[in-house]
Amino acid sequence: MSEEQFPGWHGTTIIAVRKKGEVVVAGDGQVSLGQTVIKGTARKVRRLSPGGHDVVAGFAGSTADAFTLLERLEAKLEATPGNLARASVELAKDWRTDKYLQKLEAMLIVTDGHVLLVITGAGDVLEPEHDIAAIGSGGNFALAAARALIDSDLGAEEIARRAMAIAADICVYTNGNLTVEKIGK
């Protein structure tokens, strides 16, 4: 189906902020279909604990696709305990080369409190500059707001919350109903 026949799911803003040994991942709860808000309380930030190692992941894109990727990431983490970077690279390789996975439409932000990464279906595993990562329709708004606040006296959580509030004010596919997960410290 074309975009005109089926407008597709839009939305989501996910941000991760690392400051003073703490990483906070925050995501909004809005799911939109075209110009209609379908749900305002979706949980797009999740805590994973494969092999007893805490990892926080946030996703933008298709929910079913993201859940598939999160399951694959958990399996990779179980195979490489405590090595988020390696598990992420292995996931990105599979995502890029597997015919089934290539069709998945999502992006992930993952962190174990030490490593902070953005994983894409193009095979990218990126460690963001300035200790801030953001994805989704409002990602650039949240990223700009967080970068403006990172040198302030605010902690990681307050920066993430303020950045998400700014993104929600600008991006029609983002709301202020947040899920926030902290890791570290």
> Average pLDDT of each block of 10 consecutive residues along the chain (185 residues)?
44 94 96 87 91 90 86 93 94 86 86 95 91 95 98 98 98 95 87
Give 26's strand partners.
Answer: 15, 180
- Of 12, 13, 111, 174, which is the active-site residue? 12
Q: Token pair 């403006």 is at which residue?
A: 148
Q: How is residue 113 written in tokens?
A: 């409190």
111 is catalytic: no
Q: Are 17 and 5 a contacting pair, CB within 8 Å?
A: no
Q: What is the largest CA-CA distance in the chain?
A: 49
**How far is residue 47's CA from residue 139's CA, in Å, rounded to a whole number?**
20
pTM of the model: 0.91
How many Å apart are CA 53 and CA 145, to the nearest integer? 31
The full set of domains in the chain, from first to last, is 9-179 (3.60.20.10)
